[in-house]
């Protein structure tokens, strides 16, 4: 099932890019982001600075944390190859690491801090709940979107010993396609020059091994929590709509949804689902805060959504 967002114009974000656009009436734009037309004082608005006093996704600000983030991307860009991703997908598709509920997995994230994120150093469960609660206020009737926000980063359990204890560069950070040329919109693009795939002529054209308009489901993305969680949801029979699964797999694909790169690989369904990803991204990026959510207060609501869209226990 694909959920359509009608009357939303995202064309301005992709000037001179191959992106579909439509006129808007039903939703109004605030600072370039879709907003409910009846926005009230309780509506979430994007702040201008992160928890560290810097602009969001600022990879140039001089700080010890930024140096660590750049080193992360150096390692990621060198080591994420087509063959590596193929190997990871074959290994983790077995889903033989654990059996647990969605909420049990949420609680595991208390042990995880994302070293690639320049905007927050709180435990990941707080980021999940902050995103979900912000969306819930603005889109109260889209319960699938609330749950998508809650679970979108659960794949970060790959950092934990039980799930392989993969290095950070193989779990978090921006994602990008393998098997075609690395677009210059990728953060710290300069480090791709050391990636072994650079030496393969087949991987170094705009389309690479893909056909234009093939659809992102047919594209090998860099391995990480996004691809893993999408795999877990699909293989366990989740009834989330396709738009929710699209958000989970591509929410870290900033070269696409922020810079408009790689749109030549998208099909019609991708363009429809991208509209929901743009809506989601505001809450994913700008809801990160030092103000913590009361987990026990919101727990019953999210347990009800989990029961609606997922089996009681999942294979991971």
pLDDT tens profile 234-253: 999 999 999 999 999 999 99
Any idea which of 58-72, 122-136, 200-214, 252-266 has the lowest mean pLDDT?
58-72
Q: Is residue 225 annotated as involved in ligand binding? A: yes
| Predicted confidence (pLDDT) at residue 109 exceeds the cutoff of 60 | yes
Q: Is residue 115 annotated as involved in ligand binding? A: yes
Q: Is residue 23 annotated as involved in ligand binding? A: no
Q: How high is the pLDDT of residue 213?
A: 98
In terms of pTM, does the model score above 0.75?
yes
Per-residue confidence band for 124, with pLDDT thresholds at 50, 70 and 90: confident
CB of 140 within 8 A of CB of 187?
no
Radius of gyration of the chain (CA): 19
pLDDT digits (tens, 9 = 90+) for 6-37: 333 434 344 444 444 333 233 322 333 344 44
CB of 127 within 8 A of CB of 50?
no
Torsion of CA 44, 275, 176, 86, to 10 degrees: 110
Q: How high is the pLDDT of residue 120?
A: 55
Q: Where are the beta strands (DSSP E) in the chain?
A: 28-30, 33-35, 99-100, 314-315
Q: How high is the pLDDT of residue 66?
A: 79
Q: Is residue 294 annotated as involved in ligand binding? A: no
CB of 191 within 8 A of CB of 258?
no
| Predicted confidence (pLDDT) at residue 288 exceeds the cutoff of 90 | no
What does the pLDDT average to over 140-167? 97
- Percent of the chain whose pLDDT exceeds 90: 68
Q: How high is the pLDDT of residue 111?
A: 80
Give the bridge partners for 30, in sequence order. 33
Q: Is residue 127 annotated as involved in ligand binding? A: yes
Q: Is residue 251 annotated as involved in ligand binding? A: yes
- Percent of the chain whose pLDDT exceeds 70: 75
| Predicted confidence (pLDDT) at residue 44 exceeds the cutoff of 90 | no
Alpha helices in 139-267 (DSSP H): 143-151, 225-235, 242-250, 254-257
Mean pLDDT of the chain: 83
Q: How high is the pLDDT of residue 114?
A: 63
- pLDDT: which is higher, 51 or 203: 203
Q: How high is the pLDDT of residue 206?
A: 97
What does the pLDDT average to over 254-269? 97
Q: Is residue 57 annotated as involved in ligand binding? A: yes
Helix (H) or strand (E) holding 71: helix 64-79
Q: Is residue 153 annotated as involved in ligand binding? A: yes
Q: Is residue 156 annotated as involved in ligand binding? A: yes
Q: Is residue 114 annotated as involved in ligand binding? A: yes
Any idea which of 30-34, 35-39, 99-103, 253-257 has the lowest mean pLDDT?
30-34
| Predicted confidence (pLDDT) at residue 50 exceeds the cutoff of 80 | no
Distances (CA, A) of 106 to 170, 217, 248, 306, 308: 20, 26, 15, 11, 17
Q: How high is the pLDDT of residue 125?
A: 81
What does the pLDDT average to over 41-70? 56
């Amino acid at each position: 099932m694909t959920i359509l967002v009608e009357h939303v114009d995202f064309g301005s974000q992709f000037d001179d890019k191959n992106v579909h656009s439509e006129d808007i009436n039903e939703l109004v734009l605030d600072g370039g982001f879709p907003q409910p037309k009846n926005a009230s004082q309780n509506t979430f608005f994007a702040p201008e600075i992160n928890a560290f006093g810097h602009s969001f996704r600022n990879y140039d600000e001089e700080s010890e944390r930024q140096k660590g983030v750049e080193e992360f991307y150096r390692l990621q860009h060198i080591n994420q190859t087509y063959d590596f991703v193929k190997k990871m997908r074959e290994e983790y598709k077995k889903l033989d690491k654990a059996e647990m509920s969605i909420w049990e997995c949420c609680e595991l994230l208390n042990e995880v801090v994302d070293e690639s994120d320049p905007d927050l150093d709180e435990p990941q469960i707080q980021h999940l709940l902050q995103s979900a609660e912000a969306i819930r206020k603005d889109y109260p009737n889209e319960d699938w979107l609330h749950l998508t926000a809650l679970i979108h980063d659960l794949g970060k359990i790959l950092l934990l010993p039980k799930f392989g204890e993969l290095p950070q560069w193989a779990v978090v950070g921006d994602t990008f396609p393998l098997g075609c040329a690395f677009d210059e919109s990728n953060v710290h693009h300069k480090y791709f020059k050391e990636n072994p795939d650079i030496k393969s002529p087949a991987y170094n054209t705009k389309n690479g091994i893909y056909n234009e308009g093939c659809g992102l489901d047919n594209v090998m993305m860099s391995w990480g929590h996004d691809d893993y969680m999408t795999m877990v949801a699909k293989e366990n029979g989740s009834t989330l709509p396709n738009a929710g699964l699209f958000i989970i797999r591509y929410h870290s694909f900033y070269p696409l949804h922020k810079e408009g790169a790689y749109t030549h690989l998208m099909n019609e369904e991708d363009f429809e689902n991208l509209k929901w990803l743009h809506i989601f991204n505001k809450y994913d990026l700008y809801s990160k805060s030092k103000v913590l959510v009361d987990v026990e207060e919101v727990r019953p609501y999210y347990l009800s959504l989990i029961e609606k869209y997922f089996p009681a226990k999942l294979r991971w």
